[in-house]
Structure 1
Amino acid sequence: MSWTSVARKDFQDARRSRVLWALAVVFLALAAGVASLYAFVPNITAEPEVSTIGLLGFLASPVTLFVAVASVVVCYKSVAGEAESGSGKLLLSLPHTRRDVILGKVVGRGLVLTIPVAVGLVVMLAVVFAGGVPFSPVDYAMFVVVTLFFALAYAAVFVGVSASTTSTTRAATISVLLLVLFELAWDVVPLGAWFVANGFQVPRGVSAGNLGARPDWVAFLFQLPPSGAYQNAIGGFLSGSGSEPFFLTNWFSLIVLTLWALVSLAIGSARYQRTDL
């Protein structure tokens, strides 16, 4: 298949660069450091005893931030860089369609992003065993699978952004703005929507640091960005599902991640099809 050739070449190019190795070292240090804090520093969390679920919950936030930032670094030049340099014309002179290029880039850059994450999570097991943290293979495997799926979804989002422009500067700007929106500024969106829906009044019981009893639709808005969907999915798989509505379940959060990937690629692909290289 043509897209596999694009993915293979894209991954081989990245493997020869310093990006893959730098990401592997950074995530390995991050995973080992966070696991060491949890395993060896007393009272680092409010839990009375250490556990696999506690460790993975402790690890979820730094993993989220690493994957988000690393996906921008790895993916923002994936399509726009070749369009800007002119190598995109050469690529399309081979028996590849533009859809092959985008799909191949997602797979290639996705591997560049997920391999360091997978290696870091596997090596982290040494810290888990050294620290005497009770180990649950099922919970750990579920965390790894959902995390890798999250990384692939974020890679697809930023490959879609890269495919929507022929300028690496614009691709970088849009990617960073989305990163800031998703990771730093998103909480304003559900709170603002709740404020408006409540007649431009602060809902009863809400104060600084206390959201009171949030309506289900507000909770869903908090979980709508890729990072929010990932953390909700992790929390649901590790702690079990309750009586929440279907749109707040862990499985629906995986659907949200899938939609982020597909919609981003659809928009990027539509713009790339019309681009004059």
Structure 2
Amino acid sequence: MRWVPLARKEARAVASSKGVWLLAVLLVPLGYRPNYVGWDALGPNITAGYVQMAGSALLPLGVLLLSYRSIVGERTSGSVKIVLGLPLTRTDVLIGKVLGRTAGIAGPVSVAFLVLAVVGIVDHGVFDPLVFLGTVVLTLLHVGALVSVAVSISAVVSRGVTAVGTVLGGIYFPFVLFWELLSIGLFTGVTGTPVDPFDPPASGPLFFLLRLSPGGAYRVVSNWILGVGNSPDLFNRVLTKFQPQVYANAYVVEATFPPESVPFYLHEAFSLLVLPAWIVVPLGLARYRFTRGDVV
């Protein structure tokens, strides 16, 4: 594994930066948002829900901004020639950058989750460690998917401004902030069926589309771990959907489909495959371009 020294160097560089620790500090207040509906349904395990909230708010933007210069920044400074002069293939460079940067971000982020765990125990009592650990591991997989996307973009563009524009305009806004709106628009445009977020149609393609983004897949699987319902929405919105005489704009399979008519592809296990796909597919495309293009 020739990429290990590069990954180690990358991890140290990221973990020692001010940006990643600022992100970790901000994740605690963004994640810690107690709510009655969550406490009533989950009890102490609401602490794992705080991790989901932290992983869905600022974390995607922070990870993308911490990763988009990983290769294009070295190309601009000229130091990429030193990296490529090492006994590494360009595939090794991509793998080392992704794994090293993921590890460098995962450390401080895990510290934030540890703080949330302590606060949760103090406020709510001892939670199920497997539920909490499962949510944390899944969140770090989410981080890895976002790092892979940003590093892949960094590998195929020639300027930093192009990289940040692509990361924000091509990934963050469409796939993180506005994926629900884009999915609804695409579904309505193709089928002609209007979508009321408070009472969505029982359409398998619509619900499947909503969980194809990294964040949608992440929330589907984390909700599965929490046991709150099959949905790409935050756990508290999912739980609110089940409240009597309460309307919530959440896309919850159990609240929309009769049990016998749920399409098999809406099972949470399929969403567990989406996050690895967001790691492998961008890296594969970047590798094709990076190994054939002039990056210096």
Q: TM-score, normalised by structure 1?
A: 0.86
Q: Name the CA shift for 1:234/1:47 in 2 (closer, same or farther; >3 Å).
A: closer
Report the equivalent of 1:46.
37
Shift of 1:47: 4.7
RMSD: 2.2
C-alpha distance in 2, partners of 1:20/1:54? 25
Structure 1 window deviating more from structure 2 (77-86 vs 119-128): it is: 119-128
Find the partner of 2:183 among 168, 187, 190. 190
1:164–1:268: 8 Å Cα contact kept in structure 2?
yes
Structure 1 window deviating more from structure 2 (83-92 vs 50-59): it is: 50-59
Aligned residues, how many? 263
Q: Determine whether 1:130 maps to 2:118.
A: no
Secondary structure of 2:158 counterpart: coil
Once the two structures are superposed, the pairs formed by residues 241-260 of structure 1 within 5 Å of their partners are 244-260=262-278
Report the equivalent of 2:9.
9
2:51–2:113: 8 Å Cα contact kept in structure 1?
no
Report the equivalent of 2:251.
none
Q: Determine whether 1:116 maps to 2:108.
A: yes
Q: Name the CA shift for 1:46/1:21 in 2 (closer, same or farther; >3 Å).
A: closer
Report the equivalent of 2:158.
166
Q: Determine whether 1:79 maps to 2:71.
A: yes
1:80–1:166: 8 Å Cα contact kept in structure 2?
yes
> Percent same amino acid among aligned pairs?
29
Report the equivalent of 2:84.
92
Q: Determine whether 1:234 maps to 2:222.
A: yes
Once the two structures are superposed, the pairs formed by residues 132-147 of structure 1 within 5 Å of their partners are 132-147=124-139
Shift of 1:201: 4.8
Q: TM-score, normalised by structure 2?
A: 0.81
Shift of 1:225: 0.4
Q: Name the CA shift for 1:111/1:77 in 2 (closer, same or farther; >3 Å).
A: same
Q: Name the CA shift for 1:15/1:115 in 2 (closer, same or farther; >3 Å).
A: closer
Amino acid at match of 2:189: V
Q: Determine whether 1:223 maps to 2:241.
A: no
Q: Name the CA shift for 1:217/1:52 in 2 (closer, same or farther; >3 Å).
A: farther
Structure 1 window deviating more from structure 2 (211-220 vs 233-242): it is: 233-242
Report the equivalent of 2:250.
none
C-alpha distance in 2, partners of 1:48/1:255? 30
Report the equivalent of 1:149.
141
**Cα deviations across residues 144-174 of structure 1 (Å, max 9, x unaligned)?**
1111111111111111111111211111100
Structure 1 window deviating more from structure 2 (94-103 vs 112-121): it is: 112-121
C-alpha distance in 2, partners of 1:48/1:77? 41
**Cα deviations across residues 189-243 of structure 1 (Å, max 9, x unaligned)?**
3212332343x353xxx44x42433301110101110000000011112217776
C-alpha distance in 2, partners of 1:17/1:6? 17
Shift of 1:91: 0.9
Secondary structure of 1:51 counterpart: helix
1:52–1:139: 8 Å Cα contact kept in structure 2?
no
Report the equivalent of 1:214.
202
Report the equivalent of 1:265.
283
Unaligned runs of 5+ in 2: 231-253
